[in-house]
Protein backbone atom coordinates (compact mmCIF):
# COMPACT_ATOMS: atom_id res chain seq x y z
CA UNK A 1 0.00 0.00 0.00
CA UNK A 2 1.36 3.39 -1.00
CA UNK A 3 1.24 6.29 1.45
CA UNK A 4 -1.32 8.97 0.68
CA UNK A 5 0.00 12.20 -0.73
CA UNK A 6 -0.88 15.29 1.30
CA UNK A 7 -3.60 17.71 0.30
CA UNK A 8 -0.97 20.21 -0.80
CA UNK A 9 0.15 17.92 -3.67
CA UNK A 10 -0.13 19.10 -7.26
CA UNK A 11 1.34 18.26 -10.66
CA UNK A 12 1.67 21.14 -13.08
CA UNK A 13 3.14 21.77 -16.50
CA UNK A 14 6.46 23.47 -15.90
CA UNK A 15 8.33 26.02 -18.04
CA UNK A 16 11.71 24.90 -16.59
CA UNK A 17 12.59 28.45 -15.55
CA UNK A 18 12.34 28.14 -11.77
CA UNK A 19 15.42 27.34 -9.72
CA UNK A 20 13.85 24.38 -7.85
CA UNK A 21 13.02 22.71 -11.16
CA UNK A 22 16.42 23.47 -12.65
CA UNK A 23 18.16 22.13 -9.53
CA UNK A 24 16.16 18.89 -9.68
CA UNK A 25 17.05 18.40 -13.36
CA UNK A 26 20.72 19.08 -12.53
CA UNK A 27 20.55 16.49 -9.73
CA UNK A 28 18.84 14.04 -12.08
CA UNK A 29 21.57 14.42 -14.71
CA UNK A 30 24.29 14.11 -12.08
CA UNK A 31 22.72 10.88 -10.84
CA UNK A 32 22.60 9.48 -14.35
CA UNK A 33 26.30 10.21 -14.82
CA UNK A 34 27.16 8.74 -11.41
CA UNK A 35 25.55 5.42 -12.39
CA UNK A 36 26.20 5.04 -16.13
CA UNK A 37 29.06 5.78 -18.51
CA UNK A 38 28.62 9.06 -20.45
CA UNK A 39 27.75 7.34 -23.74
CA UNK A 40 24.94 5.48 -21.95
CA UNK A 41 23.27 8.55 -20.39
CA UNK A 42 20.14 9.42 -22.36
CA UNK A 43 18.57 11.85 -19.88
CA UNK A 44 17.49 15.18 -21.34
CA UNK A 45 19.01 18.44 -20.20
CA UNK A 46 16.90 21.57 -19.82
CA UNK A 47 17.29 22.62 -23.46
CA UNK A 48 16.20 19.18 -24.69
CA UNK A 49 13.22 19.26 -22.32
CA UNK A 50 12.13 22.52 -23.98
CA UNK A 51 11.77 20.80 -27.36
CA UNK A 52 8.21 21.33 -28.70
CA UNK A 53 7.76 17.52 -28.87
CA UNK A 54 8.27 17.32 -25.08
CA UNK A 55 5.84 18.23 -22.31
CA UNK A 56 7.40 18.54 -18.86
CA UNK A 57 5.62 18.44 -15.50
CA UNK A 58 6.80 19.03 -11.96
CA UNK A 59 5.18 17.71 -8.80
CA UNK A 60 4.90 19.87 -5.70
CA UNK A 61 4.08 19.16 -2.08
CA UNK A 62 3.25 22.16 0.09
CA UNK A 63 5.29 24.49 -2.14
CA UNK A 64 8.35 22.20 -2.43
CA UNK A 65 9.34 20.44 -5.61
CA UNK A 66 8.82 16.72 -5.08
CA UNK A 67 9.52 15.29 -8.52
CA UNK A 68 9.25 15.63 -12.26
CA UNK A 69 8.58 13.77 -15.46
CA UNK A 70 8.17 14.39 -19.17
CA UNK A 71 6.44 12.95 -22.21
CA UNK A 72 8.17 13.07 -25.59
CA UNK A 73 5.98 12.50 -28.62
CA UNK A 74 7.71 9.92 -30.84
CA UNK A 75 4.86 9.95 -33.36
CA UNK A 76 1.05 10.16 -33.30
CA UNK A 77 0.66 6.83 -31.49
CA UNK A 78 3.82 6.49 -29.40
CA UNK A 79 5.27 8.50 -26.54
CA UNK A 80 8.45 8.21 -24.51
CA UNK A 81 8.69 8.84 -20.79
CA UNK A 82 11.67 11.08 -20.00
CA UNK A 83 13.22 12.66 -16.91
CA UNK A 84 11.25 10.82 -14.25
CA UNK A 85 12.81 11.85 -10.95
CA UNK A 86 11.62 12.07 -7.37
CA UNK A 87 13.40 14.54 -5.09
CA UNK A 88 15.38 12.64 -2.45
CA UNK A 89 13.33 14.24 0.35
CA UNK A 90 10.13 12.71 -1.05
CA UNK A 91 11.23 9.16 -1.90
CA UNK A 92 8.82 6.42 -0.85
CA UNK A 93 5.80 8.72 -0.62
CA UNK A 94 4.05 7.85 -3.88
CA UNK A 95 5.31 10.81 -5.88
CA UNK A 96 6.82 8.66 -8.65
CA UNK A 97 3.57 6.72 -9.01
CA UNK A 98 1.56 9.95 -9.16
CA UNK A 99 3.81 11.39 -11.87
CA UNK A 100 3.70 8.16 -13.86
CA UNK A 101 -0.11 8.05 -13.58
CA UNK A 102 -0.25 11.65 -14.81
CA UNK A 103 1.97 10.95 -17.82
CA UNK A 104 -0.06 7.86 -18.76
CA UNK A 105 -3.28 9.86 -18.52
CA UNK A 106 -1.87 12.70 -20.63
CA UNK A 107 -0.59 10.25 -23.26
CA UNK A 108 -4.04 8.64 -23.48
CA UNK A 109 -5.69 12.05 -23.85
CA UNK A 110 -3.38 12.75 -26.80
CA UNK A 111 -4.49 9.52 -28.48
CA UNK A 112 -1.24 7.67 -27.95
CA UNK A 113 -1.46 3.89 -27.94
CA UNK A 114 1.86 2.99 -26.32
CA UNK A 115 4.49 4.40 -24.00
CA UNK A 116 8.18 3.58 -24.17
CA UNK A 117 11.13 4.33 -21.93
CA UNK A 118 14.81 3.81 -21.39
CA UNK A 119 16.27 3.58 -17.92
CA UNK A 120 19.56 2.43 -16.51
CA UNK A 121 20.45 -1.15 -15.62
CA UNK A 122 22.64 -0.47 -12.55
CA UNK A 123 21.42 -1.14 -9.00
CA UNK A 124 20.53 2.55 -8.58
CA UNK A 125 17.75 2.09 -11.15
CA UNK A 126 16.09 -0.98 -9.58
CA UNK A 127 13.36 1.04 -7.83
CA UNK A 128 12.46 2.72 -11.13
CA UNK A 129 12.40 -0.61 -12.95
CA UNK A 130 10.12 -2.08 -10.26
CA UNK A 131 7.81 0.94 -10.53
CA UNK A 132 7.51 0.55 -14.29
CA UNK A 133 7.05 -3.23 -14.11
CA UNK A 134 4.33 -2.85 -11.45
CA UNK A 135 2.53 -0.53 -13.88
CA UNK A 136 2.48 -2.96 -16.78
CA UNK A 137 5.69 -2.02 -18.57
CA UNK A 138 7.58 -4.95 -20.10
CA UNK A 139 11.17 -5.12 -21.19
CA UNK A 140 11.73 -4.78 -24.90
CA UNK A 141 14.52 -4.00 -27.32
CA UNK A 142 15.87 -0.59 -28.28
CA UNK A 143 13.44 1.79 -29.98
CA UNK A 144 13.47 5.06 -31.91
CA UNK A 145 17.21 5.35 -32.50
CA UNK A 146 18.48 3.82 -29.26
CA UNK A 147 21.03 1.03 -29.58
CA UNK A 148 21.41 -2.13 -27.55
CA UNK A 149 23.48 -1.22 -24.48
CA UNK A 150 24.21 -3.26 -21.34
CA UNK A 151 23.71 -0.07 -19.29
CA UNK A 152 20.15 0.43 -20.61
CA UNK A 153 16.84 -1.25 -19.92
CA UNK A 154 14.14 -0.58 -22.53
CA UNK A 155 10.48 -0.97 -21.63
CA UNK A 156 7.05 -0.36 -23.17
CA UNK A 157 3.38 -0.77 -22.47
CA UNK A 158 0.17 -0.33 -24.36
CA UNK A 159 -2.17 2.32 -22.97
Q: What is the pLDDT of residue 4?
A: 58
Q: Whole-model pTM?
A: 0.93
Instruction: Give the pLDDT score at 2.
Output: 46
Q: How far apart are CA 70 and CA 56, in angstroms?
A: 4
Buried b (16+ CB within 10 A) or exposed e, 7-19: eebebeebebeee
Judge contact between 75 and 37, C-beta under 8 A: no
Structural domains present in the chain: 9-112 (3.40.630.30)
What are the per-10-residue average pLDDT scores of the chain (159 residues)?
67 97 97 93 96 98 97 98 97 96 98 98 96 98 96 97
The pLDDT of residue 154:
98
Amino acid sequence: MRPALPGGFEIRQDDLLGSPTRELITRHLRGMHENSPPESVHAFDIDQLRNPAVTFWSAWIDGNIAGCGALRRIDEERGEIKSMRVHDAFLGRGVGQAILDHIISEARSLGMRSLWLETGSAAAFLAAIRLYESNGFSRCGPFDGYIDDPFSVFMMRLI
